């Protein structure tokens, strides 16, 4: 798996002081490594910035109509 | 607090628009065809409707292996249950299938449902699969038995669905895009998802209502589909919940819709899978009780809660409940954390006992099951899957 892992993951560098701070921060949390914490934070940031495919008002109206027809909305 | 983003950041939609649909239907007629079993059709629909976001198709080899060994997709997104399409060597030969080919997926009657772009055809080790996912290779485990029945090869690749696969009990079926609109319309900012494959007893109601004291809404989401012998029939579960909701819940803070999907009985791994699915529906919280998705004594009672500590990046908050029971001294449903009385005062909510009671034609007492619910269940001569 070692070689495989190298294909799927890339190394980046961060300042040692930041690394130390993160190490402190994850103590007592469920994150087992600085890498897993940094991946989580970066993923959140990237997803936040990614544009969702817009859900048009027309689409939303169609959904509401179905929800009404099924009795989920009044 | 906004509803959570779908798993992987984007709600997948692999159903084709009207314009693309016509061309795809034409293309499908020229391609080799593969009939899918009922449970694979459910997985196909769940991929297409975004219930399994971020999956866009059946798992390719790198994702499959990563899920098996790391409980994550190849890009490190948490994912614990392999969503796979199996095929035998003979079928592959008959279809003359190669990586890079397209394939038409059909339902049991041969109706064309979807296109699949086959990116990966691979073999796998069934014993390893069983051991990793079910933590046992014992063929008496229903999930393991199923693995040994699968074809020797797996097909991975994106799908595009153009035919509607009408789920059973479709009036109770909502897609994530619909539940998200529904939650928003109801003004819910926090929603607890509740997974079930049982008719509700008072313990379930206690858990749901306890969660409801700190969230805006409860989303009751029974799994409908292939189950093991002795489980309640789908129609019984739905009728029982309809009755319970109608008599004992406020309409404005409880919703029930179905999840057509096969139960795997993979205990801890399946608990994570169930949580991811409810995150896609828009839930902020997910209720995990004792022996969630377990069967027999293959998993320790709280293994399905403990596994959540491996996923700090899951994006949905698990809500753990201890075992609960009716205490004759407290005169209510409680759990071991809040009841100081001895075992002699306890009435347990044992599924086995409730099942035996019903099979003997007895009415479960009101300390265990609401009389209206018991009455509905007793309308069926045999309410269980045989």
Q: Is residue A51 part of a domain?
A: yes
Q: Which DSSP string do the residues of B354-382 spell out, in sequence order?
A: HHHHHHTTPPPPTTTS-HHHHHHHTTSS-
User: In this predicted structure, what is the pLDDT of residue B376?
Assistant: 95
Residue A55 resides in a domain: yes
Q: For A52-68, what is the mean pLDDT?
A: 85
pLDDT of B7 reads 95
List of residues 6+ apart from B19 with CB closer than 8 A = none
pLDDT of amino acid A7: 62
B251-264: string of b/e by CB count within 10 Å (b at 16+)?
Answer: eebbbbbbbbbbbb
Contact A36 B313 (CB under 8 A): yes
Q: Is A73 an 8 Å CB contact of chain B?
A: yes
Q: What Rg value do the Cα atoms of chain A yield, rounded?
A: 21
Chain A partners within 8 Å of B306 (Cβ):
none
Name the active-site residue from B198, B269, B280, B370.
Answer: B198
Q: Is residue A23 part of a domain?
A: yes
Q: Cα distance from A54 to chain B (closest Cα, Å)?
A: 11
Which of B9, B185, B311 is the closest to A47 by Cβ? B9
Give residue B298's pLDDT: 96
Residue A4's pLDDT is what?
A: 59
Domain B7-161 has CATH 3.10.400.10: yes
Please identify every stretch of chain B with a pLDDT value under 70, giving residue numbers as ranges.
1
Domain with A9, as residue range(s), is 2-69
pLDDT of residue A2: 58
Which element (helix H / strand E) includes B351? helix B351-359
Q: Chain A contacts of B73, Cβ < 8 Å?
A: none
* H or E segment to which residue B333 belongs: strand B332-335
Cβ pair B31, B24 in contact under 8 A: no
Res A54: pLDDT: 61
Q: Which residue has 């309809």 as its token pair?
A: B242
B residues 11-30 closer than 8 Å to A (CB): 11, 13
> Please, are residues B142 and B295 in contact by the beta-carbon 8 Å criterion?
yes
B214 — contact with chain A (CB < 8 Å)?
A: no
Contacts of B74 in chain A (CB under 8 A): 8
Interface contact A8, partner B, CB < 8 A: yes
pLDDT of residue B208: 96
Report in angstroms the alpha-carbon separations of B300 from A9, B34, B52, B146, B350. Answer: 34, 39, 27, 22, 16
For B217, counting Cβ atoms within 10 Å of its Cβ (0-12 exposed, 13-18 middle, 19+ buried), the class is buried
What ipTM was reported for this prediction? 0.86
pLDDT of amino acid B2: 74
What's the confidence (pLDDT) of residue B160? Answer: 95
Indicate the number of domains in chain A. Answer: 1
pLDDT digits (tens, 9 = 90+) for B7-44: 999 899 999 987 788 888 889 999 999 999 999 999 99
What's the pLDDT score for residue A3?
62
φ, ψ of residue B142 in degrees (nearest 5): -60, -30
- In contact, B230 and B355? CB cutoff 8 Å: yes
Protein fold of B170-377: Rossmann fold (3.40.50)
Nearest to B171 among A29, A43, A70 (CB): A70
The confidence score (pLDDT) of residue A53 equals 60
Whether A74 is in a domain gets the answer no
CB pairs under 8 A between A and B: 54
Residues 174-213, chain B: which have Cβ within 8 Å of A? Answer: 174, 177-178, 181-182, 185
């Amino acid at each position: 798996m070692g070689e495989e892992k190298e294909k799927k993951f890339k190394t980046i560098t961060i300042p040692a002081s930041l690394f130390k701070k993160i190490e402190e921060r994850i103590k007592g949390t469920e994150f087992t490594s600085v890498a897993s914490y940094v991946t989580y934070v970066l993923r959140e940031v990237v997803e936040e910035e990614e544009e969702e495919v817009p859900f048009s008002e027309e689409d939303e109206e169609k959904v509401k109509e179905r929800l009404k027809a099924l009795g989920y909305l009044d | 607090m906004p509803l959570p983003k779908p798993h992987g950041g984007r709600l997948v939609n692999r159903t084709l628009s009207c314009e693309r649909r016509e061309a795809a239907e034409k293309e499908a007629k020229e391609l080799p065809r593969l009939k899918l079993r009922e449970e694979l059709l459910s997985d196909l629909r769940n991929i297409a409707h975004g219930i399994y976001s971020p999956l866009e198709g059946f798992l390719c080899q790198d994702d499959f292996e990563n899920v098996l060994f790391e409980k994550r997709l190849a890009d490190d997104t948490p994912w614990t249950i392999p969503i796979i399409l199996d095929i035998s060597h003979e079928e592959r030969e008959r279809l003359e299938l190669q990586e890079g080919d397209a394939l038409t997926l059909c339902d049991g009657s041969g109706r064309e449902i979807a296109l699949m772009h086959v990116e990966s055809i691979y073999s796998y080790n069934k014993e390893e699969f069983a051991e990793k996912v079910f933590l046992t290779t014992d063929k008496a485990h229903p999930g393991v038995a199923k693995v040994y029945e699968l074809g020797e090869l797996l097909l991975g690749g994106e799908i595009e669905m153009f035919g509607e696969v009408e789920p059973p009990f479709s009036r109770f079926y909502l897609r994530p895009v619909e539940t998200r609109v529904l939650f928003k319309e109801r003004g819910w900012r926090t929603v607890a998802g509740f997974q079930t494959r049982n008719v509700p007893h008072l313990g379930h109601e206690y858990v749901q209502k306890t969660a409801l004291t700190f969230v805006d809404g409860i989303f009751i989401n029974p799994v409908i589909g292939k189950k093991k012998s002795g489980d309640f029939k789908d129609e019984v579960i739905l009728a029982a919940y309809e009755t319970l909701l109608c008599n004992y819940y406020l309409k404005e803070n409880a919703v029930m819709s179905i999840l057509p999907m096969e139960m795997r009985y993979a205990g801890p791994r399946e608990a994570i899978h169930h949580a991811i699915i409810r995150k896609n529906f828009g839930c902020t919280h997910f209720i995990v009780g004792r022996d969630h998705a377990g069967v027999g004594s293959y998993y320790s009672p709280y293994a399905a809660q403990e596994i959540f500590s491996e996923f700090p990046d899951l994006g949905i908050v698990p809500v753990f409940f201890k075992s609960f029971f009716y205490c004759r001294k407290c005169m209510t449903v409680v759990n071991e954390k809040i009841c100081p009385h001895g075992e002699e005062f306890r009435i347990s909510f044992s599924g086995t006992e409730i099942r035996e009671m019903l099979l003997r034609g007895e009415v479960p007492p009101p300390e265990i099951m609401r009389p209206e619910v018991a009455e509905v269940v007793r309308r069926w001569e045999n309410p269980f899957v045989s």
